[in-house]
Chains A and B, each alone.
Chain A
Amino acid sequence: DIQMTQSPSSLSASVGDRVTITCQASQDISKYLNWYQQKPGKAPKLLIYDASNLETGVPSRFSGSGSGTDFTFTISGLQPEDIATYYCQQFDDPSLTFGGGTKVDIK
């Protein structure tokens, strides 16, 4: 089974800061890495698919990059409404696994 290591597990940043979250896969997963945002009491929301593709309607301050085993998720200017937990998710046909999550809050 492929393991996903997501870091950090939590972070505090100021409004307008650049925020970076990383996910590392234990094996090569090509581009098959997705990013979700989850607010308290709500279902996860897809933000980025296939490592770097922005889902329709998602603000452009969110971005993703990487391939193989190392992936990065970036918020280019943190907004108050971005307070949430962010998860990466990998696909190794036919299994899927999620990273442990990163809780983002405002400093």
Chain B
Amino acid sequence: QLQLQESGPGLVKPSETLSLTCTVSGGSIRRSSYFWGWIRQPPGKGLEWIGSISYSGSTYYNPSLKSRVTISVDTSKNQFSLNLRSVTAADTAVYYCARRPDIGAWFDPWGQGTLVTVSS
């Protein structure tokens, strides 16, 4: 059974870079039939897609975040990562990683999520 697990600092200072990693277990990230994505949810608010990456490294970003986001994949470690630059308090959120099939546009499964707080 495929499982995803987010990891990274829970506290980031304003103007710095938020970096998270998603480790995939129970299956290979190299499978060409999937994309791997990041979604976030500010406390008490709705869901926002950040971006997605294929196993080969093709990336797709939310236009509203594109200038600050980089998503990368490390197939040797079965991981993919998120970097969000120049963060502000508005970037405080639970960050989820998830898998998306290339034949569709739904996310399943999801990681449990990790709360990142932006504060000095």
A contacts, CB < 8 Å to B:
1, 32, 34, 36, 42-46, 49-50, 55, 87, 89-91, 93-101
Total interface residues in chain B, CB < 8 Å = 19
CB<8 Å pairs between A and B, sample of 20: A32-B104, A34-B106, A34-B107, A42-B112, A43-B96, A43-B113, A45-B110, A46-B106, A87-B46, A89-B105, A89-B106, A91-B104, A94-B52, A95-B62, A95-B63, A96-B52, A96-B105, A98-B46, A98-B49, A100-B46
State whether the Cβ of B16 lies closer than 8 Å to any Cβ in chain A.
no
Measured CA separation A98–B47 after assembly (Å): 6
B contacts, CB < 8 Å to A:
46-49, 52, 60, 62-63, 96, 98, 104-108, 110-113
Given contacts A1-B63, A34-B105, contact A101 B49 (CB under 8 A): no
CB of A43 within 8 A of CB of B105, answer no
Q: Closest 4 A-B residue pairs measured CB to CB?
A: A91-B105, A94-B60, A43-B110, A46-B108
